[in-house]
Amino acid sequence: MQRSAPRLSRILACAAVPVMLVAVGCSSGSDSGDGGSGSGDKAGSSASATPKATQSTKSVEPAKFAELPQVCSSLSAKTIESLVPKAKNKKGTETPSSDAGSRGGCSWNGLEDKGTKGSQYRWLDVSFYRYESDATLGSGQERAADNYAKELAKVQATEGAKKLRTAPASGVGDQADTVTYELRKANEDFRYASVVARTGNVVVLLSYNGAGYEGADAPSEKSIRDGAVNAAKEAVAAVAAANK
């Protein structure tokens, strides 16, 4: 019996070893269930990192147009002569811009004296806004579409506008609307037509208005609207021509 005690101790000690190994094995198995062993953790980290990498390198549609036209040359001399017969500066007055590659504007105005029939005043201006594609903001086309809607809303909210109407302008870029209205200024009735158009990643804003002075009748809504739409078509075509 005395000899069996040490032997029994050795048996118990050896029996305890598998229990420890099983415990370690269970711990390892449990880790595996939560993401695996060391190699499993790397795989899990790699898998979780993949969406972040994809997000950071998200691709967007390239901007369609990289250039804007020379703003004051976007409308032909013939168009200016037709819409603003006695323009003070036939070459137009360019609006200062800190980034001519992204935005620009030009305007023309003049007063035509018709003798006993009074005088006719006309104002025409055109502006261009170009948007680059950006992974966080969207494609140039999407950004232009968003700003197209904002610019249209601004025109529709013109303070003091009467008889305001909005209608699609067919054949002008990818999308376009014409807003016509009347406005009383300096005791004269002015008729306005504003065209908001988008071609690719460029928004074109064109405004044309006129009034009759010294007893002359105000220009008709149709003449102002048609003049604005035709000029807008020309401005949109100038964008495409500048990027050939």
- The average confidence (pLDDT) of the chain is 84
* Secondary structure of residue 212 in the 3-state scheme: strand
Q: Which helix (H) or strand (E) holds 9?
A: helix 4-33
Residue 27: is its pLDDT beyond 70? no
What the block records as the tokens of 44 is: 């899990």
Which residues is 177 bridged to in the sheet?
A: 168, 196
What the block records as the tokens of 13 is: 């000690």
* CA pair distance 180, 148, nearest whole angstrom: 17
| Domain boundaries defined on the chain | 4-56, 71-242
Question: Are the CB atoms for 178 and 166 separated by under 8 Å?
Answer: yes
Report how far apart, in Å, the C-alpha atoms of 79 and of each of 50, 150, 231 are.
56, 28, 7
Average pLDDT over residues 90-96: 97
- Render pLDDT for 158-209 as a digit per residue (tens, 0 to 9): 999 999 999 999 999 999 999 999 999 988 999 999 999 999 999 999 999 9
HSE, CB side, 13 Å, CA atoms: give it for residue 18. 4
Question: Which among 165, 236, 171 has a CA at the least distance from the CA of 198?
Answer: 236
Residue 143: is its pLDDT beyond 50? yes
Lowest mean pLDDT across 8-17, 57-66, 96-105, 132-141:
8-17
Average pLDDT over residues 17-39: 39
- Render pLDDT for 32-72 as a digit per residue (tens, 0 to 9): 344 444 444 443 344 444 444 444 456 999 999 999 999 99
Which residues are CB-neighbours of 107 under 8 A, at least 6 positions away? Answer: 92, 93, 95, 123, 124, 125, 126
pTM of the model: 0.76
**pLDDT band (50, 70, 90) for residue 23:** very low
Architecture of domain 71-242: 3-Layer(aba) Sandwich (3.40)
Instruction: Give the per-residue pLDDT at 57.
Output: 52
* Secondary structure of residue 23 in the 3-state scheme: helix
* CA pair distance 14, 112, nearest whole angstrom: 114
